[in-house]
Amino acid sequence: MSESVQSLQDSLEIYRNQVKQIQDALLIANEEQKPDLQQVVKDLEEIILLTETSLSSAPVQEDNDTSSANSQNESNLDEELSALEGMKCKAPFKYEWGGVGYHSAIILGSELGEDDLVYVKAVFMHPTTKKMQPCPYFLEGNCKYPDEKCHYSHGYTVRLDEVQDFSDPDYSKITEGCTVLAKYKDELWYRGIVEDIIKGTEFSVKFQHCNDVLLLNLHAVYPLDEDDEDSSSESSEDEDDDDSQFTPRCLEEHN
């Protein structure tokens, strides 16, 4: 078997795996995301058809033409994947103690992994640990630390087929006495109990991890469903990393 034929067969297997992965993602995608993902599948299927045609006939000139067409379609695929940037989703986060929780996130970009699967890089909208908290310097393009050295997140990488659909929060569920996810003074989010609602736009929230009571606006609270975003306080007893923020303590007031 010639190297060119082997290369085409290897590429064909990669393309088929990518189609399956994106079809799996389509099962949980919302209506806004589906057109872009469907276009990605269409582009990949065109590449597969051209590759199969090349394998069946394999004249030199046709191989060259097919290679050129494949390059063009791969370029189109890159453009379609880039359309995922900025989309909201639910992305999995693996805690250091071994548990996994799904959190609201925004897709920063996508890339092809060494296993030939499509991965997306996400930033979490309501980080509950420092390692989920986006690095402001990285977002501005001038963090001096590499991804693995920075104490904050440069984006969390997950497989595209692991991403779940995002549902807009229902703020009408926030009532006195209910549990919400709320933003604390350290910019992280923790569970809290709504003690009072002022004019429907401000909320007096008592944080469960330290009993502080803060008056927060609508942008600093997030309604929780039964299976919604997990709180770091539930797993604090299993976390030994002092830098992880799983066992947060109240910050002292600074005058």
Reported as a single tens digit per residue, the pLDDT across 108-137 is: 888 877 787 888 999 999 999 888 999 888
Least-confidence region, from 2-16, 66-80, 216-230 = 66-80
- The CATH number for 171-244, chosen from 3.20.20.105, 2.30.30.140, 2.60.120.260, 3.40.50.1820, is 2.30.30.140
Q: What is the dihedral of CA 93, 22, 111, 145, to 10 degrees?
A: -10
Q: Residue 204 is inside which H or E element, if any?
A: strand 202-207
- 34-40, long-range: CB within 8 Å, 24+ apart, which pairs? 36/80, 36/83, 36/84, 39/80, 39/83, 40/77, 40/80, 40/81
Give the mean pLDDT of 6-15: 76
Asked whether the beta carbons of 191 and 180 are under 8 A apart, the reply is yes
Q: Is the pLDDT of residue 78 over 80?
A: no
Round to the nearest angstrom and report the end-to-end CA distance of the chain: 75
Give the mean pLDDT of 229-248: 38
**Can you give the pTM of this predicted structure?**
0.64
Of the pLDDT bands very low, low, confident and very high (cuts 50, 70, 90), residue 188 is: very high
Give the mean pLDDT of 78-89: 79
Reported as a single tens digit per residue, the pLDDT across 23-32 is: 777 777 777 7
Least-confidence region, from 15-19, 144-148, 210-214, 229-233 = 229-233
Q: Over the chain, what is the mean pLDDT?
A: 77
> What pLDDT does residue 235 have?
39
Domain 88-162 sits in CATH at: 2.30.30.1190
> What pLDDT does residue 244 have?
33
Q: Is the pLDDT of residue 157 over 50?
A: yes
Among residues of the chain, what percentage have pLDDT more than 90? 27
